[in-house]
Amino acid sequence: PADADLARPGDNLYTSSLVALDIKTGTVRWHYQIVPHDIWGYDVGSPPILFDVPGDNGESRGPIAAVGVASKNGWFYTFDRATGELLFKSDAFVPQENLFSRPTSKSNGEDESVTVIPGSYGGASWSPSAYDPNSGLVFIPGIHKPTKLTAKTVRDPHTGKNVTYNVIELMSAPNWGTLTAIDTRAGGKIAWQVRTDQPLVGGLLATGGGVVFAGEGDGHFSAFNSNTGERLWQFQCGAGVNAPPVAYEIDGIAHVAVAAGGHGILGYPSGDAVISFALDGQ
């Protein structure tokens, strides 16, 4: 359970935010609070990525050095890297329902619940997104994992006061994932999207050859066409693929490697392998 918020009034500065610091002094250059006074668990866990976007109409303002971040609430936010100005918020890449609804504890002592989608485990969690500088597409690993928030009021034995907590419960079904291509050159519109059997909690890799790699909790590791979303190839790793892939080169041959270790909290099969693939067709 989490404190429902009575002990922390206000926006709670810098929480659930993207913050830019001066690398020399550590002072705050700018910040953008994606969810003020967050009680849903919408912390910003996915690593930000850097890219350029076209300026206003491509004329009055040249290419803008931008920073973007995928959020748990289901949107991809893009900012001017220097000023923190919000340039655009993308189309939603996962379903959204009761996004900012609050459970309440009734005066008669009964508890009230609300199902929140995407919820504290949904949207884009700690998984890194990927970017293709050739197309301007950002690829986002999405999680559809509804959560139930229940407000419970208990008496503090030390103060005698009633304290309200939000209890977060993961819903058993339906749970699935989305691999979404967001067009940063078209104001964040969805270029394509495919649904995966399992939530994508491991992160993505986009290659210069027009391929996006993604792993799933059931052990499947797949390659997708980065322009269309078509699945090109799949391999069963024997354990949950919940880590981001990496690319490297040996003797002129490109390789992709990924860890298959599973996930205890989400119940994915465990393992201890690092698997590497050569991209030379053999």
- Name the domain count of the chain: 2
Residue 172 — pLDDT band, cuts 50, 70, 90?
A: confident
Closest CA to 169 of 242, 107, 103: 103
Separation between Cα atoms, residue 175 and residue 8, nearest integer Å: 32
Q: Are residues 177 and 88 in the same domain?
A: yes
CB atoms within 10 A of CB 180: 29
User: How crowded is the C-beta side of 208, counted as CA atoms within 13 Å?
Assistant: 5
Q: Which residue range(s) make up the domain with 195?
A: 2-201
Query: Which letter, b or e, does each residue of 93-114 get, where b requires 16 or more Cβ atoms within 10 Å of its Cβ?
Result: bbebeebeeebebeeeeeeeeb
- Looking at the predicted structure, is the pLDDT value of residue 1 above 70? no
Give 43-83 pLDDT, tens digit per residue. Answer: 999 999 999 998 765 455 679 999 999 999 999 999 999 99
* Mean pLDDT confidence for 232-245: 95
State how far the alpha carbon of 65 is from the alpha carbons of 55, 79, 189, 206, in Å.
Answer: 10, 9, 19, 20
Distance CA 100, CA 28 (A): 28
Euclidean distance between CA atoms 235 and 176, whole angstroms: 19
Among 184, 201, 218, residue at a domain's last position:
201
- Looking at the fold, whether 267 and 150 belong to one and the same domain comes out as no
pLDDT, mean of residues 79-101 = 96
Residues 6+ apart with CB under 8 A from 50: 65, 66, 67, 81
Alpha-carbon gap, residue 148 to 173, rounded angstroms = 12
- Do residues 254 and 232 both lie within one domain? yes
**Residues 141 and 36 both lie in one domain:** yes
Tokens coding 223: 């390659």
pLDDT (0 to 100) of residue 6: 64
Residues 26 and 121 in one domain: yes
